Amino acid sequence: MNDDEPVLLHTEGHILHITLNRPRALNALTHTMVRGISEALTLAAQDDAVTGVVIRGAGGRGLCAGGDIRSIYEDARAGRRASVDFWRDEYRLNARIARFPKPYVALMDGIVMGGGVGVSAHGDVRVVTERSRVAMPETGIGFVPDVGGTYLLAAAPGELGTHLALTGRAVGAADAILCGLADHFVPSHHLDDLTTALARSATPAEVTETVRRYAAEAPEGELAAHREWIDDCYAADTVEEIIDRLVDSGLPDAKETADALLAASPTSLKVTLAAVRRTGRLGSLEAALDQEFRVSCRAFTGHDLVEGVRARIIDKDRAPRWSPAEARDVTSAEVARHFEPLGDQELGLSSV
């Protein structure tokens, strides 16, 4: 194991440990890391001595803050297509994690956003802590939830998933569990004890049971108390009507949410709303990933992704100039264009 490698692998007892190792970048995913995780899963699936996999992040601040947004920005500005190749392999990895034949334990401690959700929340044993902050924050940078995020959020209770998809808001442990993004709460100071105990798990069933033994009740979340206005406002058919309902509700939290939506990319909001609603009818993660790949490819060639990353990451002026600047000017034809088939460039997971 070379500590300079972006993905570290080691076996402890019966468990293969995968550690994302770019702590200064909050373990943001690169194409090399995606390939490394996939290769590790191939080894683990074939090794009868391995009863489960644990994935975690180095540095103590989080599992993974998402994809390497700066490289995507540079790729888009230069007219290259490396980001499309990255997404193709990343989404395939997301599907593979969901179908992995052995327990896949994701330690979602600290920051878990975007691509970090993709390498964790599709696993079958997902652990959050009091430090967890889980989000799909794409609309704030002119993008749309991907890595199977629309599939996960479409399955959340009521309109909670729509709320999180449009706002990009980060949630803690209890709310991540409520929304189906995680399974168990384990206090962060018990994670090392948990991983030591997992090493003694001689069967897949023992892996799952060991996590349950360390699980506790999560500190109270926030979303359950807001379900009434969230479900009412986000049941609207359009982004414009959702914002109107939030403003008209007279509730400070709803008004604050409306302000957050008004600051996001109008195109991203409309495409995200359509994506979540469509995904709820697709029936499988693979079909959702196929749809997300189409949307990502179209967003990659649009204006708002480059502009959003510029404002948030590059210049950090927090003043993106979206085009169109208002939701009412984003046409239904423009939204529909994001979902059109890619011909021979399709991801094709649902047809395998």
Active-site residues: which are they?
67, 115, 138, 146
User: What contacts 59, CB < 8 A, 6 or more positions away?
Assistant: 23, 24, 26, 27
* Number of residues in the chain: 352
Q: In what order do the strands lie in the sheet with 7-12?
A: 7-12, 15-20, 52-57, 104-108, 125-128, 184-185
Residues 104, 94 contacting (CB under 8 angstroms): no
Instruction: Report how far residue 182's alpha carbon sits from residue 125's, in angstroms, rounded to the nearest whole number.
Output: 8
308 token code pair: 């959003």
The strand pairing partners of 113, in sequence order, are 135
Q: Measured over all CA atoms, what is the biggest interatomic distance in the chain, rounded to whole angstroms?
A: 59
Cis peptide leading into 266, omega within 30 of 0? no
| 3-state secondary structure labels for all residues of 40-84 | HHHHHHHCCCCCEEEEEECCCCEEECCECHHHHHHHHHCCCCHHH
> If DSSP codes are grouped into helix, strand and coil, which group holds residue 332?
helix
